Structure 1
Amino acid sequence: MRVGASAVAVRGPAVAVRVVAWLCGALVVLAQIVYSMTDPEARLFTTVASVIAFAVASVCDALARFGPRAAALLVVVAGGGGLLAETVGVHTGFPFGDYRYTGTLGPEVAGVPVVVAMAWVMMCWPALLVGRSLAGNHRAWSVVAGAWALASWDVFLDPQMVDAGHWAWTDPSPALPGVDGVPLTNYAGWLLVAVLMMAVLHRNVGEPRVDGELDLRAGPAPVLYLWTYGSSVWAHAAFFGRPTVSLVAGVLMGVVALPFALKLWRAHR
Structure 2
Amino acid sequence: MTTTAPAPAPAAVRVVPWALTAALVATAIAYPLASGSFRDTVSWGIVLLGSALSVAHAGLSRGARTGVGVLVLVALVSIAFESVGVATGFPYGSYSYSDVLGPTLLGVPFLVPLAWLMMAWPSWLLGEVLARPVRASRRRPARIVWAAAVFAAWDVVLDPQLVQAGYWTWADPTPGLPGIDTVPLTNLAGWLLAGLVLMTLLDLLVERTARAPRTGPGAPLFALAWMTLGGALAHVGWLDLPGSAAWGAGLGAAVLVVLAVQHRRAGRP
Which range, TM-score by smaller chain?
A: 0.7 to 0.9
Is structure 2 residue 74 aligned with structure 1 residue 74?
A: no
Matching of residues 205-216 of structure 1 within 5 Å: 205-206=206-207, 209-210=212-213, 214-216=216-218
Unaligned segments of structure 2, at least 5 residues: none
What is the match of residue 104 of structure 2? 108
Kindly indicate whether the alpha-carbon contact (under 8 Å) linking 1:18 and 1:60 is maintained by their aligned counterparts in 2.
no
Cα offset for 1:211? 6.4
Cα offset for 1:78? 1.5
Kindly indicate whether the alpha-carbon contact (under 8 Å) linking 1:229 and 1:257 is maintained by their aligned counterparts in 2.
no
Which SS does the other structure have where 1:95 is aligned? coil
Cα offset for 1:42? 2.5
Q: Normalized per residue, which structure has more helix?
A: 2
Mapped to 1, the partners of 2:5 and 2:180 lie a distance apart of 43
Larger mean Cα displacement after TM superposition, 247-256 or 84-93: 247-256
Cα offset for 1:251? 1.8
Kindly indicate whether the alpha-carbon contact (under 8 Å) linking 1:35 and 1:43 is maintained by their aligned counterparts in 2.
yes
What is the match of residue 182 of structure 2? 181
Superposition CA RMSD, Å:
2.6
Instruction: Decide whether aligned partners of structure 1 residues 251 and 210 sit closer, same or farther in structure 2, where only a CA change above 3 A counts.
Output: same
Runs of 4+ more than 6 Å apart:
261-264
Which SS does the other structure have where 2:34 is aligned? coil
Aligned residues, how many? 256
Alignment-mate amino acid for residue 60 of structure 2: A
Identity, % of aligned pairs?
36
Instruction: Decide whether aligned partners of structure 1 residues 260 and 36 sit closer, same or farther in structure 2, where only a CA change above 3 A counts.
Output: farther
Cα offset for 1:157? 0.8
Cα offset for 1:253? 4.2
Q: Which has the higher contact order (CA 8 A, sep 6+)?
A: 1
The structure whose Rg is larger is 2
Is structure 2 residue 229 aligned with structure 1 residue 233?
A: no
Q: TM-score when scaled to structure 2?
A: 0.86
What is the match of residue 50 of structure 2? 54
Cα offset for 1:204? 2.6
Unaligned segments of structure 1, at least 5 residues: 1-5
Mapped to 2, the partners of 1:7 and 1:157 lie a distance apart of 43
Q: TM-score when scaled to structure 1?
A: 0.86
Deviation sequence 1:160-188 (CA, Å, 0-9, x none): 01111010000111111111110111110
Cα offset for 1:259? 3.5
